[in-house]
Amino acid sequence: MINYMAELSLLMSQMGCGKSIKEHPAVFRASKHRIILERIRPIEQKMKSQIDKLTQSTHNGEVKTPLRARPDQMEFDDESDAEESEEDEGGEEKKTKKYVPPKMVAVRYEEEDNEKQTKAMERAKRRALQSSLVQELRQQYSDAPEEYREKSRRKFEADKERQRYEEDHFVRLRMSKAEKKRERLQNRDNAIDDLFNFGNYMMRDESGEALSNSKKRKGSQSGGPKGKKSRFDRKKSKKLKAKLKKTVKTKARLILVVNIESQFSCQKRPIFAQLTSDGSYAGKMAGHFESELCQVLLEEHFGKTVSLVASVLLREPGPLGAIMFRLKGQVKLNAVRKSLSILIQHSIVTFKMDASMRVNYSIDRSAILAFPKAPRCCLIVKTLYGGLAEAICEELFSYGRLTCSDTIRKVSLRLEQPLGDVKEKFCRLTEAQFIARCPPVVSSLKGCPQFETSYDPFIMPDVILQGSSESAGESRKRKAPTPEGDEGIYWHINWSRFDRYIRDEMTLELLVPKNSSTEQIALKLSQTVRSLLKANEVRASPVATINTAPISLFDMMRTVKENELEIERPDVEKSLRILVDESRGVVRRSGDSGGGLFVIDFERAIGQICQFHIESLIREQLESRAVRIFRLLQQRGHLEEDQIEKLTMMSGKETRELLYAMLEEGYISTKPIGRTNDFAPSRTFVLYYVDMPQTVRGLVEYTCKMLRNIILRRSFEVKEHRLLTERQVKMESIMETINADETLDEETKKQQISEVEEMYLSSADRAALEKYHKAQTVLNAAETECERALFAFRLYIEFSLRRC
């Protein structure tokens, strides 16, 4: 205190003299003494009573302190020593007495009135956030990947080893009570039905047992008659009820969250949806990797914000409020509205009014998965109708939907072609149904447009291109734009027509392979199949049509003359006989009228294509003997291990290893047949069989994962080599300028070009660019092949659903 007052006096003298004390050392010393005094103050208050007693004892000449925790050796005097000697003499009497500890100084706990309630609320909130309900909700709606830890892997290996031992020795291993309880809790956590039943989580104790399903315990041996609860059980029941009430009160605060999330999670998501009007399936094959592939495609084309909005709709359709709830804190409302308008513009998101007069948004996965096949579709149009038709499809794909006049003017301005030629190509694409009109708006119901259901989507507008060519290049902010005559009539790409064309191409490649031995026979066969497919193109049918309508030989010859296929009738008849005999049921004869009726079975063709893909995967992952087992199970159906071993002429060990490997990969399935109801291993037969739809569903997810990884790798390579590619583009532009300069001779041009190359790209950069271009070529080719396989797998699933 004295030092503190001294420092204050020094500072006051400095201030009185008019000097600054900003960086004076006395400030630090005064602050230090002040902190020490403030820290000592509570200790002084606690020791106040002892200090007062010490001062009084010093004044009175006494040092007795009965309230001290322990005696101080420095304060003993002769009187205390005498008392101690007297106590030693009578020690035998005090040993038998009860020990009484010295009294401690009472310290009052100073606590605010609302602090207890705040701690209780925090404790309840922490317990609620750590509950299984919130953890499972967080795992279900979080975008973070699932983590597999070492403990889970060891348990999986242990379970697998246990199962292998039981199957090999036909013995059921016993489990302890702790293992049974742990397995029961894990099964409850992994059960799918419990995720949608919140009542089960509200009525469970700490061990995970349902309180309503708990068995009544018998009375203990120590008290109470049989059938009645003992005193101990009654006390335990009261404690359990109190704990249950507390748990229900705590979890009642989560009811608001559960009610909001119920529109997404409480209804079980259907695996397969109903047929739409065009014959496709909406919401089918909603797998995890398929959703991730859709998100990657949308992020590649439209950006991160649109991908986030679409990810919400990929989980479950819903209104704008539900979308904003899921994206709370990530995307603003205006950004969500703009993203929805972009997705609606490209026919990815559709909307309709529900019973409660709310606008519900839903996403079409097939429209997103059509993006990877856009280059192939443009190539198809270019092959059939030329470069102008390809440019029309590129504009429609870039903008989503455009009017006929805007499309023609944009293509004409970009390619510097006359409007008449572009208009002719547009009409031909409309006649071939490669582009279609969007449904016109009839009315509006509370701000939601209502579209017309019955209209012809392939009719050209009566009036187009009425505006001047100068007005097309002006700004959109003009007050009085010149009308074109087709305002409100928008066109988009008809993906279903391209799907039918790709399906026909795959069927043609299956029937007439490219590596045919005789080119002349292969040409005649391909022309015959083309005539069959061209005759079927006149009839508009869904892509998942199982087979074509019966096509007569007269219709085929008329199609040959119209399309100038250069094949005679005898050659057509001969090719049809070869196809009927050698196509394994893809082309078959269904009648004799009109020179003969022929049908192409698309379901059988796509099934054979899928089977070739599956056999190729089995051969690559396992070996050729596994393909032999796969074909045997397809032909014979359900077989046992012994039967497969005899028919394939392999050893039992090899057969068992290949069967287990194929079963683990999902290529085959098992069906247990028990002699008794308990399905004991010693009294159960296990039959192996091939479930093609289930296998193809697994391959759809596998292909989606592969395609997603390819796209991500390609994007990563583009980002890594962006600087090199920009330098290469700049270098090429300079080289073109040098080549276009007529004042320079050839030697000067070559010299300047070599200097520019050395300046912009070194030898290491050229090698890196060459490696980058090769990698891009390989990735693009792999992406195209994966997209073709994915299309075949999805089409097979649609065929199997139609069959059901």
Instruction: Locate 785 and state its tokens.
Output: 């092949």
Q: Single out the residue in 642, 674, 690 at which a domain terminates.
A: 690
Q: Are residues 376 and 453 in the same domain?
A: yes
Range of the domain at 41: 1-58
Last residue of a domain, one of 533, 568, 600: 600
Q: What is the pLDDT of residues 675-715, one digit of tens each?
A: 777 767 777 888 999 999 999 999 999 999 999 999 999 99
For residues 713 and 667, state if they share a domain.
no
For the chain, how many structural domains are there in total?
A: 6
Lowest mean pLDDT of 261-275, 423-437, 522-536, 601-615, name the range: 261-275
Asked if the structure places residue 137 within a domain, the reply is no
The span from the CA of 238 to the CA of 231, in Å, is 11
**In the structure encoding, which two tokens stand for residue 549, read together?**
């309508």
Same domain, residue pair 447 and 386: yes
Residues 383, 489 within the same domain: yes
Please name which of 321, 350, 681 lies closest in space to residue 492, comparing C-alpha atoms. 350
In a domain, 229, yes or no: no
Contacts of 376 (CB under 8 A, 6+ apart): 502, 784, 787
Number of C-beta neighbours around residue 7 at 10 A: 21
388-392 contacts at long range (C-beta below 8 A, 24 or more positions apart): 388/415, 388/417, 388/421, 388/422, 388/425, 389/425, 389/428, 389/429, 391/415, 392/422, 392/425, 392/426, 392/429, 392/435
Predicted structure pTM score:
0.62
313 belongs to a structural domain: yes
Residues 397 and 457 placed together within one structural domain of the fold: yes
More confident position, 113 or 797: 797
As a three-state string, the secondary structure of 165-204 is: HHHHHCCCCCCCHHHHHHHHHHHHHHCCHHHHCHHHHHCE
What angle (nearest 5°) sits at the alpha carbon of residue 396, between those of residues 393 and 399?
145
Shared domain check, 799 and 702: yes
pLDDT in tens, 751-782: 888 888 888 888 888 889 999 999 999 999 99
pLDDT value at position 4?
81
As beta bridge partners, residue 449 has 444
> How many alpha carbons lie under 13 Å from residue 223 in its C-beta half-sphere?
6
Domain boundary among 629, 664, 690: 690
CATH of the domain at 551: 1.10.10.10
Residues 596, 521 share a domain: yes
| DSSP assignment letter at 146 | P
Inter-residue long-range contacts of 504-509, CB under 8 Å, 24+ positions, other chains counted: 504/533, 504/536, 504/537, 506/605, 506/606, 506/609, 506/788, 506/792, 507/533, 507/586, 507/600, 507/602, 507/605, 508/533
Tell me: do 627 and 593 sit in the same domain.
Answer: no
Does 87 have pLDDT greater than 60? no
Q: Which residue, 129, 251, 130, 263, is CA-closest to 196?
A: 263
In a domain, 270, yes or no: no
Distance CA 493, CA 401 (A): 8
| Residue 631 within a domain | yes
Quick one: 745 and 764 in the same domain? yes
pLDDT in tens, 37-51: 888 888 888 788 888
Domain-located, residue 543: yes
338-347 pLDDT, tens per residue? 999 999 999 9
Q: How confident is the model at residue 209 (pLDDT cuts 50, 70, 90)?
A: very low
Tens of pLDDT, residues 95-118: 556 777 676 666 666 666 677 788
Lowest mean pLDDT among 65-74, 131-140, 226-235, 272-281: 272-281
In a domain, 776, yes or no: yes
Q: In this structure, are 383 and 334 located in the same domain?
A: no
Residue 510 near residue 602 (C-beta atoms within 8 A): no
CB 614 within 8 A of CB 637: no
What token pair was written down for 716?
């990563």
Q: What's the pLDDT at 535? A: 82
Verify that 640 and 658 share a domain, yes or no.
Answer: yes
Residue 644 lies in a domain: yes
| Shared domain check, 768 and 676 | no
